[in-house]
Chain A
Amino acid sequence: MSEIEDLEIQLLLEALFQRYHYDFRHYARASIKRRLIQARLHLGFATISAMQDRVLHDASMLPRLLDFLTVQVSEMFRDPTYFKALREKVLPHLRTYPSLKIWIAGSSTGEEVYSLAILFKEEGLYDRTIFYATDINPEALAAAEAGVYTIDRIRKFTENHQKSGGKSSLSDYYTAAYGRAAFDKSLRDRVVFSDHSLVTDAVFAEMHLISCRNVMIYFDRPLQDRAIGLFRDSLTRKGFLGLGSKESLRFSSHAGAFTDFVPGEKIYQRREP
């Protein structure tokens, strides 16, 4: 029973890759399985194979499945000490450059993008920076570009922002109406949102900072290593890489290319080649 399901999952992932070039084949399988079983129940299919049949022949099924296969859980200033470390330790270095490029890989519905935009505004670096926000989920990218969140999330966002050493009030950056908070256009006029996969796409050149948080945790070890190699090749000399609080370079074959810049916050710096 379970073995058949494992086989069906493998075939479905292969089908998604061959038909749509979405490659989940090397994602951590146990959690993919959980989410595909949820998808099957939620979308009302008797088997994973039936779900595969549908998504192969009906492309409108793909976004629905992507919502299960990708995890859109985010928060503004998630892990406030990470943003505090960026503010206090990394931005003083970035300040020495006349122009900056920042890549937020796996930006989900935008919370991390707006957090960094606010941080850069507060520190007076926003106007010299271009932000690249990338993800594989088109609906998440669209939500990120819209920058609208339900109002019940704002309290936590505000608390996190304060803990990150925020110098302004979060309420300066959004307007609230009808139970929603819409973040200001001026936080995204220097943000480029685009579709990019850490699994199948190539490097982004000459970044000063790459923030990729809680994305690689969904990959198996070899795929994590590929992504880290991609980051290494996308950074400028002495550029910075920030990961999620339970992610690290420790097990990567590329670990030697980085120094542990803020130990404990998973902020690394590219060594001089």
Chain B
Amino acid sequence: MSGTPIQAVAIGASAGAVQALLAILPALPASFSLPVLVVVHVPPDRSNMLVPLFQSKCRIKVKEAEDKEPVENGVAYFAPSDYHMLVETDGCVALSTDEPVNYSRPSIDVLFESAADYYGSALAGVILTGANHDGAAGLKAVADVGGVAIVENPDGAYASAMPTAALEATPSARIMSHDQIVFFLSSLGTAR
């Protein structure tokens, strides 16, 4: 753990994602000053209901990520369905149609590993509910570069497999409830 100020937040969620994200993203204040990169596993073809839903509920700006667009503070970027979302080496978000990873596209690991590479210890990674193991390697990559690793408490999660796998890979990760995650993120993103 280092004292670097956090510059970006990455969030991964699968089964039960919508409820979990509804407890978190709309609670962030309008003054929230970090970019939030969100990967949710959604079946291909039945996607982008999420973006309008969260646009209508959130105080921060919400959009679907576009290929090679610069990342802006205070904006939540959702990966489009059937595309991976990465942070490029110049800090833009990029999309790709590479093979699914962990049977998933978008994959949480792909986002987290590329974001860890770019932001290093200035990244906070959050793994929420899910019924698979995607995100475990990604969160470990975040912890390995000195970023902040956060996992939703598996006991309270809609599906515990994903947070459990993330904790096995990164035992030092902080375990938090939705409310604690909101509090923690708000404190990162407004006290600057």
| B-binding residues in A (CB < 8 A) | 2, 6, 28-31, 33-35, 71, 73, 214, 217-218, 220-221, 224, 244, 246-248, 251
10 contacts between A and B (CB under 8 A): A28-B96, A31-B86, A31-B94, A34-B86, A34-B113, A35-B98, A71-B99, A217-B95, A246-B83, A248-B66
How many chain B residues touch A (CB < 8 A): the figure is 23
Chain B residues whose CB sits within 8 angstroms of the CB of A217 once the complex forms: 67, 94-97
Q: Is the CB of B67 within 8 A of A34?
A: no
Nearest residue (CB) in A for B113 is: A34
Give the docked Cα–Cα distance between A145 and B71 (Å).
41
Q: Is the CB of B89 within 8 A of A73?
A: no
* Min distance, Cβ A114 to any Cβ of chain B, angstroms: 19
Most chain A CB within 10 A, of B80, B83, B89, B99, is at B89
Give the docked Cα–Cα distance between A247 and B87 (Å).
17
Give the docked Cα–Cα distance between A202 and B137 (Å).
42
Q: Is the CB of B89 within 8 A of A247?
A: no
From 25 to 44 in chain B, residues with beta carbon under 8 angstroms from any chain A beta carbon are none
Give the docked Cα–Cα distance between A207 and B97 (Å).
27
Chain B residues whose CB sits within 8 angstroms of the CB of A34 once the complex forms: 86, 98, 110, 113-114
Counted as pairs of residues, one from A and one from B, with CB atoms less than 8 Å apart, the total is: 60
Nearest residue (CB) in A for B99 is: A73
* Min distance, Cβ B134 to any Cβ of chain A, angstroms: 15
* Min distance, Cβ A254 to any Cβ of chain B, angstroms: 16
Q: Is the CB of B98 within 8 A of A31?
A: yes
Chain A residues whose CB sits within 8 angstroms of the CB of B96 once the complex forms: 28, 31, 71, 217-218
Q: Is the CB of B68 within 8 A of A221?
A: yes
Given contacts A30-B86, A34-B113, A217-B95, 4 further A-B contacts (CB under 8 A): A28-B88, A28-B94, A28-B96, A214-B97
* Min distance, Cβ A27 to any Cβ of chain B, angstroms: 10
Give the docked Cα–Cα distance between A31 and B118 (Å).
12
| A-binding residues in B (CB < 8 A) | 66-68, 80, 83-84, 86-90, 94-99, 110, 113-114, 117-118, 145
* Min distance, Cβ A239 to any Cβ of chain B, angstroms: 24
User: Can you list the 9 inter-chain pairs with the closest CB atoms, starting with the nearest?
Assistant: A29-B89, A30-B114, A30-B86, A31-B96, A28-B94, A30-B88, A246-B95, A214-B97, A73-B97
Q: Is the CB of B86 within 8 A of A224?
A: no
Give the docked Cα–Cα distance between A224 and B110 (Å).
23
Give the docked Cα–Cα distance between A73 and B105 (Å).
12
Chain A residues whose CB sits within 8 angstroms of the CB of B86 once the complex forms: 28, 30-31, 34
Chain A residues whose CB sits within 8 angstroms of the CB of B90 once the complex forms: 220
Chain B residues whose CB sits within 8 angstroms of the CB of A251 once the complex forms: 68
Nearest residue (CB) in B for A224 is: B68
Chain B residues whose CB sits within 8 angstroms of the CB of A247 once the complex forms: 67
Task: Choose from B68, B97, B110 the contact partner of A71 (Cβ within 8 Å).
Answer: B97
Chain A residues whose CB sits within 8 angstroms of the CB of B88 once the complex forms: 28-30, 220
Q: Is the CB of A246 within 8 A of B89?
A: no
Give the docked Cα–Cα distance between A29 and B145 (Å).
19
Chain B residues whose CB sits within 8 angstroms of the CB of A2 once the complex forms: 117, 145
* Min distance, Cβ B147 to any Cβ of chain A, angstroms: 13
Most chain A CB within 10 A, of B67, B80, B83, is at B67
Give the docked Cα–Cα distance between A31 and B85 (Å).
10
* Min distance, Cβ B144 to any Cβ of chain A, angstroms: 10
Q: Is the CB of B113 within 8 A of A220?
A: no
Q: Is the CB of A28 within 8 A of B80?
A: no
Give the docked Cα–Cα distance between A31 and B88 (Å).
8
Chain B residues whose CB sits within 8 angstroms of the CB of A31 once the complex forms: 84, 86, 94, 96, 98, 114
